[in-house]
Structure 1
Amino acid sequence: MEELLAKHRKEQKDLQGRITQKKKSATKKTRKGVNDECDRLQRELSERHQAEIAQLNGEPSQPVDGFEDLSLAGESDGTPGETTTHQADEKNHNTSNSTSSPQVPATESETVPAPAARTKKPNRQKARLARRAAEQAAQAEVAAEEAAKQTDYRGNERDAMNAVFKRLNLKEVEINPDGHCLYSAVAMQLDESGVGLRPDPKRIVLQSPSQARVDTVTSPKHDGYRAVRTVTADYIADHREDFEAFMEEPFDDYTRKIKLTAEWGGQLELLAIAKAYGVDINVIQADGRIEKIESGETDGDEDENKKKAIWLAYYRHSYGLGEHYNALTRQS
């Protein structure tokens, strides 16, 4: 029985696959015919399965015809295969009138089909659910195949970054991806390198409102981005001729967004930070390149300049919000 049921399940699964393909290829004109054909195939398979189960259980799968008494034993003279007409008539008479005989008359057997031979009406709701499940499985399989063919940009980016970190003996520090990531990563490293969040007055003199924003920072790792944003905006404003040509919006609107909003920072902001704080900034790209933004510091102390250098990891695909910067520190 288990083998038969397994065979039935396989045939049902194969039929569902055929039905799905037929319905996918159907057009408006052929859809009704295709649906009717699919229902017919489903009904025929169900009937055949029921008949096979009935046959395996020893139940008749169709009305059973009556059988004549084909006994070959003769009673008059003991000769096999011979009976007298009187004996045959008497036997038939006794058989038809016997109330204790378990045999069923031929006419009754012909008119009353066996219960196992009755075919149930197909359950259309179950058929629809089965078709829907088959279609969803086919769609999931197609989606999985397409996904397997696509380039894993996130995985490739992570692998390339990790290889560079290992080669340069760098440790990555996760920065919250909230729009302030560039400034937060810089603030953390300015504090740890000893440069601090207050720029050298020889490079930029902050006005009172800006100085107040820098002085009210409670923690370089948590709100240090406010100080770096303020210094960046003021440095760009003080060197307007060096930056305005690269902007795609009004200059004052651009600097206001840097100072007061969570607008993302980029190449112009990195250059302003390097100049304002006198630090070199090294940005590791996903393709393994290292982009260096120089501060122009020429004090001649190479070791000291290395200590002040800031390292950033720039991601394009690994974070849900888009472009992102993480901080990098030297392994001890």
Structure 2
Amino acid sequence: MADDEGLSNEVNLQQRHRKERKELQAQVQKLKHSIPKGDKRKKKEITEQIVKLEAELDQKQEKELEELESTTNEPSKVAEQLESLTTVDSDDVDVAHKVKENKPSRAQKRRDKKAQEEKEREKRIQEETINNLMGSRNVESETIKAILDKKGLQLFEIASDGNCLYNAICHQLQQQGTEASNDSLRKQTADYMRAHQDDFLPFLTKDNGDIYTSEDFEKYCVELEKRPVWGGQLEVKALSHVLHKSVEIVQAEGSSLIIGEEGKHCDSPLCIVYHRHAYGLGEHYNSVQPKSEETVDEFT
């Protein structure tokens, strides 16, 4: 009867653990779906929260399994097991004891498995670290840092959310005492491009290589104005005219680009950084600030 009860307790515990795992998985999916697209900071926070929840559940369930295992090996039950062996030859008892001593417990097996998984995880992290150091992302980062060092500047991180170009320009203007917003810059850029369509239309092509029509161009400007679509050199050119400022684009590959230098009223140039490899979502712009200033985490 005691064995049956122990077996029943173990089955019940396993069923409860499976239910807890399913509930945690549902919670994890809900947390992942709550991450705004492109929000790397929120993604990092959610990932850390998920790791914590999984670790807590692992510890809780392992403790419960060990407690259950200890109850099935109480002294009284051990005594009963020894008594049942009284009719067995002493040599057989010694062999049975040796087998039992050498056989790892379920808890030990779990600990060994967890230790092996952790060892493999650390190995993967080390390999990834080596790959990152030699990869294009790190090479680009180090090259840009060296260029900015010579200029007495340091990188200022801008959120990777589709608005990076406009927010980088906002940060540059802010350092010059001019307040601007992502929405206002987008509208001014779209309005300027509409008013000077002939200067921009020839440089826009569809996926099949066809040149944009006037209708396509208007849709492009509406998207630019209303949605967080990424901006490129055409938008930088429009911004330089709108703001009457030249824009220097620092990049790792090749020399810096100066856009708007030909303008008659371009003064107090702006400086932003172009990244080709640093972000998983694709190309990205950051801003810069003097090295003497304390780095602020992020500008949004």
Correspondence for 2:202 among 214, 220, 245:
245
* CA shift in 2, pair 1:123/1:331, >3 Å: closer
TM-score (norm 1): 0.48
Equivalent-residue separation in structure 2 for 1:295 and 1:282 (angstroms): 9
TM-score (norm 2): 0.52
- Deviations 1:180-212 (CA, angstroms, capped at 9, x unpaired): 221122133335446x5xxxxxxxxxxxxxxxx
* CA shift in 2, pair 1:134/1:287, >3 Å: same
Q: Does 1:233 align with 2:211?
A: no
Map 1:173-192 → 2, pairs under 5 A: 173-192=156-175
Q: Relative contact order: is structure 1 or structure 2 higher (C-alpha 8 Å, sep ≥ 6)? A: 2
Q: Does 1:326 align with 2:297?
A: no
Q: Indicate if the aligned counterparts of 2:144 and 2:251 stay in contact, CA closer than 8 A.
A: yes
Query: 1:160 — aligned with what?
Result: 143
Q: Does 1:254 align with 2:220?
A: yes
Unaligned runs of 5+ in 1: 1-109, 197-218, 300-304
Matched position secondary structure for 2:121: helix
Correspondence for 2:250 among 279, 284, 296:
284
- Number of residue-to-residue matches in the alignment: 191
Q: Indicate if the aligned counterparts of 1:275 and 1:296 stay in contact, CA closer than 8 A.
A: no
Q: Does 1:120 align with 2:99?
A: yes
Aligned-pair Cα RMSD in Å: 3.4
Deviates more, 1:262-271 or 1:151-160: 151-160
Equivalent-residue separation in structure 2 for 1:329 and 1:181 (angstroms): 16
Q: Indicate if the aligned counterparts of 2:274 and 2:285 stay in contact, CA closer than 8 A.
A: yes
Instruction: Give the drift of 1:168.
Output: 0.7
Instruction: Give the drift of 1:324.
Output: 2.4
- Deviations 1:63-104 (CA, angstroms, capped at 9, x unpaired): xxxxxxxxxxxxxxxxxxxxxxxxxxxxxxxxxxxxxxxxxx
Give the residue type in structure 2 aligned to 1:256.
V
Q: Indicate if the aligned counterparts of 1:173 and 1:327 stay in contact, CA closer than 8 A.
A: yes
- Deviations 1:125-154 (CA, angstroms, capped at 9, x unpaired): 579647845763674366346425524344
Query: 2:61 — aligned with what?
Result: none
Give the residue type in structure 2 aligned to 1:140.
R
* CA shift in 2, pair 1:162/1:251, >3 Å: same
* CA shift in 2, pair 1:135/1:241, >3 Å: same
Give the residue type in structure 2 aligned to 1:234.
D
Query: 1:267 — aligned with what?
Result: 233
Correspondence for 1:314 among 264, 274, 297:
274
Query: 1:170 — aligned with what?
Result: 153
Equivalent-residue separation in structure 1 for 2:243 and 2:203 (angstroms): 21
Unaligned runs of 5+ in 2: 1-87, 207-215, 293-300
Q: Indicate if the aligned counterparts of 1:160 and 1:288 stay in contact, CA closer than 8 A.
A: no
